[in-house]
Structure 1
Amino acid sequence: MHGGFAATVLDSVTACAVHSMLEAGASYATVDLNVKMVKAIPKNTELMAEGKILHISKSIGVSEGNIKSADGTLLAHATATCVIRR
């Protein structure tokens, strides 16, 4: 699968992790996304994507995410930085 697929999914899960920590009315935007393709992502297979917060402050959120196969094999990993507007 094309790396753009992984980048899109990882941008979504890392940004949503930041979003989940914000109060109503706050906004955010990804300013940096670093993606590492660990293994080829096969077509037509079940995948799991997960994001988690590494750091949150008044103006910055740092998160990481991964894409794994159904058996738990790591396929891609990313770190992201989001700017927060409160």
Structure 2
Amino acid sequence: METQRTRTYTWDDPLVALEKAKALTGLEYIKQMHAGKIAPPPILDTAGISMFSVKEGDVVFLIHPQEFQYNPIGSVHGGIITTILDSAIGCSLHTVLEKNTAYTTLEIKVNFMRKITHKTPPLHTETTIIHRGRSTALLESKLIDSDQSIYAYASSTCMIFNLS
């Protein structure tokens, strides 16, 4: 029985997308990324996650749990779960930012509620902006299945800053 698996992927230079971001509102930028007009960040393909839908204040990400995302105990690594939640939080915040404005995660807290394996159904994020100030924002995101069962929950504080 063959046990070795192979996974190959490519990505575009992320600095090209960053330059385009400066001239667009956050919502325009994320919508163009979702439409394939701007390349997504390499972390999405690396982690095996995808952008599913975009609306102001909530960018939905999708994950089909797979073996290459596993940790040593046979479940999806907490870093992958944190990555999808952090991506949803950051991109959701980005949709309410003006031109030439960006964000970074100051802190994130993740609660892992259920084991995730390749047998787990596809999961998606649901994100809410709790508070958006001039320099910081507080958001939360859930990783859920189609029955609304929560697999992980995150709350995060992000710093908002000018790109100039």
> 1:37 maps to which residue?
112
Tell me the TM-score normalized by structure 2.
0.50
1:70 deviates by 2.4
Query: 1:1-86 to 2 correspondence within 5 Å?
Result: 1-44=76-119, 45-86=121-162
Task: Please state how far the C-alpha of 1:25 moved relative to its aligned partner.
Answer: 0.7
Whether the 8 Å contact between 1:31 and 1:81 is mirrored in structure 2 is yes
| 3-state SS of paired residue (1:15) | helix
Root-mean-square deviation (CA, aligned residues, Å) is 1.1
| Mean Cα deviation higher: 6-15 or 39-48 | 39-48
What is the TM-score normalised by the length of structure 1?
A: 0.92
Percent of aligned positions that are identical: 31
Q: Which runs of 5+ in 1 are unaligned?
A: none
What does the per-residue CA deviation read over 1:2-27, in whole Å, with 9 as the maximum and x for residues that have no partner?
11111000000111121111011101
SS at match of 1:17: helix
Instruction: Tell me which structure has the larger Cα radius of gyration.
Output: 2
Structure with the largest fraction of strand:
1
Q: Which has the higher helix share?
A: 2
Is the partner of 2:79 in helix, strand or coil?
helix
Moved over 2 A (4+): none
Q: How many residues align?
A: 86
Query: Shift of residue 62 of structure 1?
Result: 0.8
Structure 2: state its 5+ residue gaps.
1-75
